[in-house]
Amino acid sequence: MSALVLDGKALAEKTEQELSARVTALKARSNGQQTPILATILVGDDPASATYVKMKGNACTRIGMESLKVELPSTTTTEQLLAKIQELNNNPNVHGILLQHPVPHQIDERLCFDAINAEKDVDGVTCLGFGRMSMGEEAYGCATPKGIMRLLEAYGIELAGKHAVVVGRSPILGKPMALMLLNANATVTICHSRTQNLPALIKQADILVGAVGKPEFIKAEWIKDGAVVVDAGYHPGGVGDIELKPLVDRVAAYTPVPGGVGPMTINTLIYQTVDSGEKKIG
């Protein structure tokens, strides 16, 4: 029997229709004067980052909300970026702030991330937001792991009591992913580059999340039959972090690459911006 395909692209499109209706209602409540606004900050001229920012702006347009594009030169200092973030924090018409990662080397990225007001941290990158999320308090979750959680929920994947293995420990993916799964009552193992006996640990996974950043690093033979496989990687050639092709007939469910996790990341960013807008405008 073929595995269930966890189609992030389809879920993102369905969610956009729902968000469009929410944005329309918000505009109506303010007599057309206000709409949720996401401010995107792009520092430097990295082409990949510029593409990601453009995609996020396009997603805003599709649901009828606005984006405020802030572009700063690659020579920007930490102090200059902090000043711009503070300006956006103080702007009552801005409901979400996204600082595109990575920033040029001379900037203290963590300091700048943490300067974003918690109520506008719709990308879930601040230490305060991470701490609140990990404690089960109200916070906007980091966009990719939160998107994965929304995808698993939409397809009715049972998490409570299951053994989830997360391969990767980055502050914006692996670590928050593990805490979200733990908060959903899964038993969680976090693996990384120095983990010993990695194949044996992966073999135990009822739910596997590949977030290691290396193409097809996780081999199909390491994964047990009937597992739920989530691949958060994307590399040239259209492959992820997991060797997926041999798995499609023996796992319970999997995210395709592309079209699985990727669309849910941007969708979650927009979803959380609309939520922030509703709290301020509504």
Q: Provide the number of structural domains found in the chain.
A: 2
128 plus 148 within the same structural domain: no
152 plus 55 within the same structural domain: no
Do residues 38 and 67 make contact, with C-beta atoms less than 8 angstroms apart? yes
Do residues 192 and 235 make contact, with C-beta atoms less than 8 angstroms apart? no
- Tell me the pTM: 0.96
Do residues 53 and 42 make contact, with C-beta atoms less than 8 angstroms apart? yes
Q: For every one of its 282 residues, what pLDDT tens digit does the chain have, with 9 covering 90 and above?
A: 689 999 999 999 999 999 999 999 999 988 888 999 999 999 999 999 999 999 999 999 999 999 999 999 999 999 999 999 999 999 999 999 999 999 999 999 999 999 999 999 999 999 999 999 999 999 999 999 999 999 999 999 999 999 999 999 999 999 999 999 999 999 999 999 899 999 999 999 999 999 999 999 999 999 999 999 999 999 999 999 999 999 999 999 999 999 999 999 999 999 999 999 999 987
Residue 257 falls inside a structural domain: yes
DSSP character at residue 99: E
Q: Tell me the CATH number at 252.
A: 3.40.50.720
171 plus 257 within the same structural domain: yes
Q: Is the dihedral of CA 91, 86, 175, 234 positive or negative?
A: positive
Q: Which residue, of 74, 101, 135, is where some domain finishes? A: 135
Active site residues: 56, 100, 123
Do residues 264 and 148 make contact, with C-beta atoms less than 8 angstroms apart? yes
Residue 124 falls inside a structural domain: yes
Task: Find all residues with CB under 8 Å of 115, minimum gap 6, and list them.
Answer: 82, 85, 86, 89
97 plus 177 within the same structural domain: no
Task: Find all residues with CB under 8 Å of 229, minimum gap 6, and list them.
Answer: 208, 210, 223, 242, 244, 247, 251, 253, 254, 255
Residue 10 falls inside a structural domain: no
Residue 2's pLDDT is what?
A: 83
Residue 200 falls inside a structural domain: yes
Residue 20 falls inside a structural domain: no
Q: How many helices (H) and strands (E) does the chain have?
A: 9, 9
Which residues constitute the domain of residue 68?
Answer: 31-135
Name the one residue in this structure whose structure tokens are 């914006």: 172
Residue 30's pLDDT is what?
A: 86
Name the one residue in this structure whose structure tokens are 């057309």: 32
Residue 1's pLDDT is what?
A: 61
